[in-house]
Copies of this chain bind each other. A is one copy, B any other.
Amino acid sequence: GAQRALWVKNITLCQKDHLSATLLSDDLPADFLRAITCQVCDHLLSDPVQSPCRHLFCRGCILKYSRALGAHCPACSLPCDVAELKSPAKAFLAVLHSLALQCPREGCGELVRMDAFRAHCLGHLQQRQTQMRDNHADGELDGYLPVNKGG
């Protein structure tokens, strides 16, 4: 329930690193949504690994979960040794990486492939830094140049 979710979040601490499923541009079927989200943190799978019982988690999440709560699967409770985790099938990873996410930045809203999403957001950040630097430069110039206030 909600208590367990909070408890798990305090273990994984991935809120700032992982992507939310709310970024998905489509209204996807329930089972498909479950298939592409981490069974520990509920974010979109980030560097996923597969347990012997074929459940998926972010690599970071299952390692932290196992260390804190023991070597069992968070989805089905079967034994799950971290040494037995393996990479999911390439066909599945291709599906995951090609999911279309909608950029949440105001005035953008572009659809971006999941594997290009970080680069896209970094672009916005750099753009913003450039603007701030330009504004700052303008601000400095304001102090040196005579300002025609009209009238």
Binding site for B on A (CB under 8 A): 25-36, 39, 50, 53-56, 88-92, 95, 99-100
Cα–Cα, bound, A16→B46 (Å) = 39
Copy total for this chain: 2
For A89, the closest partner residue in chain B by CB is B26
Residues of chain B with a CB closer than 8 A to A27's CB: 89
Cα–Cα, bound, A50→B29 (Å) = 7
A18 to chain B, nearest CB (A): 17
A102 to chain B, nearest CB (A): 12
Are B88 and A29 in contact, CB atoms less than 8 angstroms apart?
yes
A109 to chain B, nearest CB (A): 16
Cα–Cα, bound, A55→B54 (Å) = 21
